[in-house]
Each structure stands twice: as structure tokens, then as C-alpha cells.
Amino acid sequence: MSSPRIGSPLPARLWVTPAGLGALVRRAAVYRCSPTGSEHGGTTMRDTDRALVQAASAVAKLRCRSAAHTLATAARTAEGRVVSGVNVVHDSGGACAEVIAVGTAATQGVHDLETIVTVGDRGRSLVTPCGPCRRLLAELFPELRVIVGPVDDPRVVPVTGLLEP
């Protein structure tokens, strides 16, 4: 292959170049399959969920290259549209990647998210949203599905299942 390769291969053995990121995100957005598991997603990963993890990992590999940006989030609508964001770390505070993705969705006219995933370590780990983000996501999107767990065995849980009593 003569195309430049950035980062390491994604789980599906896809190489991502800056030009290829858009194609990967579009593939995650349009790849459709029939839902499986319970009506809230249960613990069964859909093919579209795996593609969303790949999209978040690609964003992390390409955009999280400094201490200021360490996490990447990808979120998908029921229609298959994907939005992403990276966190911002700064001495005066910062913003979680989930909040940035929600803001990005709002600026693009997206008002209902179906599934969300956050990755760290440049795509090598899945990160569960922090407490404030869990509350924000549950209030804005009560039916939201969150992909969590180890990267080699992820599962999908309802955002309300992540809230502490």
C-alpha cells in the first residue's frame, strides 16, 4: 500500500489517515443492522456500536496528541449521524469529551443521541463518563446507550444504569 499510515491498525484492521477519518466516521454513521439485545441495548454490542468505538478510536489517534487532549468521544443518532469531540485539559479547568460532543451535536442541529462511547489512551481503552457527565447525559438523553468496559469485551448499558442512587 502506498497511502500514508497514521497510528496503528484499528480492531477491524483498518488504517486511518486524516483523509480516511471522514470515511470511517461516515461508515459508522451509515452502517445499519438490526438491533439485538433488550430494548435498552442490554449488554449486546451491535455492529454499529463496534463501528462507533472505531470512530472514537480514530479521533483519539489523530487528535489526542498532547496533554491538553487525552480523551475522545463519538456519539451516534438513531438516524446514524455521528458527532465527536475531544476533552480539553487546562489549569483553569477543562471540559470532558462527552460535553464537547454534546455541544458539537447541538451546533450541528442534532438533538437526540442514541449511543455514546469515550476512549482514552489514544483508543486503547474505553472510559466510563464521570459523575457529572453521567447526570448531564441522563438528563438530556434519558434513553442513551453507553458503551463501557474493557476494549476487548465492551458492553452497552443504559445511561440511567450508570447513575449512582
pLDDT single digits (tens) 42-58 = 568 999 999 999 999 99
Is the Cβ–Cβ distance between 103 and 96 less than 8 Å?
no
Q: Which of the following is catalytic: 98, 139, 143, 164?
A: 98
Phi-psi region of 80 (alpha: psi -120 to 50; beta: other; left: phi over 0): left
| DSSP-derived secondary structure letter, 110 | -
Q: According to the model, what pLDDT value does residue 134 have? A: 96
Lowest average pLDDT, out of 25-29, 120-124, 133-137, goes to 25-29
Cell of 122: 489514544
Q: What is the mean pLDDT of residues 131-148?
A: 96
Cell of 44: 449486546
Rounded to two decimals, what is the model's pTM? Answer: 0.75
Known catalytic residue: 98? yes
- Alpha helices, DSSP H only, in the chain? 18-30, 47-63, 97-107, 131-140
Long-range contacts, 68-71 (Cβ 8 Å, 24+): 70/120, 71/96, 71/97, 71/118, 71/119, 71/120, 71/127
d(CA 59, CA 104): 14
Q: How much of the chain, in percent, has pLDDT values that exceed 90? A: 58
Is the Cβ–Cβ distance between 72 and 59 less than 8 Å?
yes
Domain residue spans of the chain: 18-160
- What is the CATH T-level fold of the domain 18-160, as seen in this structure? Cytidine Deaminase; domain 2 (3.40.140)
Cell of 100: 464537547
Q: Indicate whether 100 pLDDT > 50.
A: yes
